Amino acid sequence: IVLRDYLVVTRNFDPTLLERGRMAQLQKGYDHDTPDTLHGLAYVAFQELATRIAHRNTGRYSSDPVADRIMVRIAADENLHMVFYRDILGAALKVQPSAAVRAIVDEVLAFEMPGAGIPGFIRKAAQIAKAGIYDLRVHHDEVIMPILRHWRIFELEGLDAAAEDARRRLAEHL
């Protein structure tokens, strides 16, 4: 709400276009279609960190101290969300390591942000990447790898054959 109000008040964005886009996204909704809770937790752990980084980089890119402070605050909230989901899935790795690894690998390999359904998303994503806010390098180096290292995904032992195969596919993908 703060970000939307900032954009409207400063006229940094056409408020009518902003509201139409927001309403279109809300009416369409977002269904990640996860098969189970472990997949959902894996997805949001990565998605929340990706969002945190994108918001923080957007604030820096803005060259506006007010926008930067708003984005710092939003990014801090996103980080709390990420830590919550990352730690829950970390506990799941101790209880059901093979199932958790398979979920993590599935989500890394098929990852997309919730905004992927926004009209013109590919064009907007290319502009964001070109500006240096968020791109595949950032996704790999600042999102995927830190979480995988935190979970020690490549050091886990006692996985079933399907989880070992998933981990092999993950290593190839990375």
What kind and span of H or E run contains 143?
none
Give the DSSP H or E segment for 103.
Answer: helix 97-109
136: its two tokens: 């595949």
The b-or-e profile of 140-159 (16+ CB within 10 A means b, else e) is eebbbeebbeebebeebeeb
Per-residue pLDDT of the chain (174 residues; tens, 9 = 90+): 888 888 888 888 888 887 887 787 777 665 667 789 999 999 999 999 999 999 999 999 998 999 999 999 999 999 999 999 999 999 999 999 999 999 999 999 999 887 777 778 899 999 999 999 999 999 999 999 999 999 999 999 999 999 999 999 999 999
Q: How far apart are CA 9 and CA 25, in angstroms?
A: 22
Report pTM.
0.88
From the CA atom positions of the chain, what is the Rg in Å? 18
- The confidence score (pLDDT) of residue 34 equals 74
Position 25 scores a pLDDT of 73
